[in-house]
Chain A
Amino acid sequence: MILAAANLLIGLFLLAPMIVVVATAFTTTNYPVFPPVGFTFKWFHEFLSNTDFTDATQRSAVLATVSTLLSTALGTLSALALARWRGRGQQAVTMFMLSPILFPTIVLGLALLVFYSRVGLSGTFIGLVIAHSVVTTPFVIRLVLAGLAEFDPSVEEAARNLGAGWWRTFFLVTLPLIRPGVLAGAIFAFILSFDELVITLFLAGPGMQTLPIRIYTFVEYSSAPTISAIATVLIVAWVAIGVPVYARFLSIRHK
């Protein structure tokens, strides 16, 4: 009973900032206030008619799409490698490949800024794509590996014994079987890349302001419910796409 009451409060605490953000998106006041006053769609309109924000949204979507393609390819190959790696080195390589998850992004951001200035990638789009792929690939690896846990490698052997070449085996046997994991990894990588802020702050050149950067600089210097409206769109989109994908994988792992 006490536990249930405590958990109700903890759950409320977990959802609090999101409830506030969504609620303030509809306020008629000129600043975000909770509880909101009145009801209006004005701030959503403001978001869609502000080219700074819509351009940034488009830029973030392109960046996230390209970096997701890259990290999904790198991550899927890596997961397949780790799953069939026998003998020494497997653990060390796994740890190295997953290390960007725990590595302080603030340090990686500065390191890439300095590195890019040496190799001529400063302020380039491709530089951002590479940086995003580095931080999102480990999540693809983890989700593909989770999917691979139920994968029986003898099917591949069977396909090869029946005369299928490496490519045929991969595209007709392996890939269809691990597709749920790959898809989940790609969706996760996309969301992470779209939302990435810290490394992007270091690397984005002038005119490359992504949506998270626009939101961050806007919040830093002013406050209008427009941000609440943008945030509401993001919350609804990511939760609707991400929760089912993630929940499915958690339940697989936990059965």
Chain B
Amino acid sequence: MSQATSELAAAERPERRDWSPLLLAAPNLIWLLLFMTGALVTLAIMSLHGYEAGGRGILPTWELTHYKAFLTDRFFLDILVRSLLMSLYVTLWCLLLGFPFAYALSRVRGWKRAVLYFVVLAPLLTSAVVRTFGWMILLSNNGFINKTLMNIGLIEMPIPMMYRMTGIVIALVQVLLPFMILALDAALLNIDRQLYDAARNLGAGAARIFFQVTLPLALPGIVSGSILVFTLAISAFVTPALIGGPRIPVMATLIYQQGIALLNWPFGGAISFVLLAVLLSILGLALAIAGRGRRAAR
């Protein structure tokens, strides 16, 4: 009897806060706060310490010298610009190659769709090291691409692609293209097919349908895919390291060199936070422009 009334009271108590989600999320939240946020805070503090090469190493002093050293040195700024350009080229190429493929993928059914999915997922499941290794074989001066082009007489001398930005971009586009295709596919699948029929019935041509129906409605996918690819490109390490080598340093290989080879953790940390700051401002800008574009389209 008393139990029944207490249960009734519990049921009637207005809006009893349910704490179970927080309890379930707690282990992972603590994990992330420790090993992601905590690690990043440690790195931020590290980037403010002084450093003496060879001698005493990391100093207990507090200074901004590493940020200043990076931002005032032409050599380092060139590396930052190179990384940004590389990521931009990779993103644009992924959009250009990803769109037709995702378009086809979103419009077919059955076994055709399965085949196209396989072509996208198989590379996604193969590690970047393995795929970069494949590109190294293809891109070298006496590799398959140059040999074929010379055999059919298109070129007389091999086009150097290894240890060049060209090679890095080619390989990185292939490494990241699946992400772009899946993002675009998700957006394109959400478009109601009856919209195409309606546009056609109203007399719109293929080009007009593409620019006035498909493209605006695919915009969320274009934005999310581009953000994903740009971010992964600028922090990619394996492909620039193996194909570009030490001759073409980018931000990721520079951070690795400072952190592992030179053990200059304060400077490596400073470069990391410059990279994060630049990346965040670009993503913020991209989202703002996309938001305005979406409002204008309405």
Chain A residues in the interface with B (C-beta under 8 A): 3-4, 6-7, 10-11, 13-21, 24, 32-35, 73-75, 77-78, 80-82, 84-86, 93, 96-97, 99-100, 102-115, 118, 130-131, 133-134, 137, 191, 195, 197-198, 201-202, 212, 215-216, 219-220, 223, 227-228, 231, 234-235, 238-239, 242-243, 246-247, 250, 253-254
**How far in angstroms is the closest Cβ of chain A from B15?**
10
**Does B18 sit within 8 A of A, measured CB to CB?**
yes
Question: For the complex, would chain A's binding face be called helix, strand, loop or mixed by DSSP majority?
Answer: helix
Q: With A106-B252, A239-B126 given, can you name 6 additional A-B contacts, CB distance below 8 Å?
A: A16-B135, A34-B143, A85-B25, A108-B36, A111-B40, A112-B35
Are B24's CB and A78's CB within 8 A? yes
Complex Cα spacing A197 to B133, Å: 14
Complex Cα spacing A216 to B238, Å: 8
Chain B interface size range: 35 or more
Are B189's CB and A10's CB within 8 A? no
Chain B residues in the interface with A (C-beta under 8 A): 18, 20-25, 27-29, 31-32, 35-36, 38-40, 42-43, 46, 97, 100-101, 103-104, 114, 116-138, 143-144, 171, 174, 177-178, 182, 185-186, 189, 227-228, 231-232, 234-235, 237-238, 241-242, 251-252, 255-256, 259-260, 265, 268-269, 272, 275-276, 279
Chain B residue at minimum C-beta to C-beta distance from A34: B144
Chain B residue at minimum C-beta to C-beta distance from A105: B235
A93-B29, A104-B275, A215-B129 known; A3 and B104 CB under 8 Å?
Answer: yes
**How far in angstroms is the closest Cβ of chain B from A169?**
11
Complex Cα spacing A43 to B58, Å: 46
Give the residue of A32, A115, A118 whose beta carbon is less than 8 angstroms from that of B35: A115
Chain A residue at minimum C-beta to C-beta distance from B252: A106
Complex Cα spacing A154 to B132, Å: 49
Residues of B within 8 A of A198 (CB): 237-238
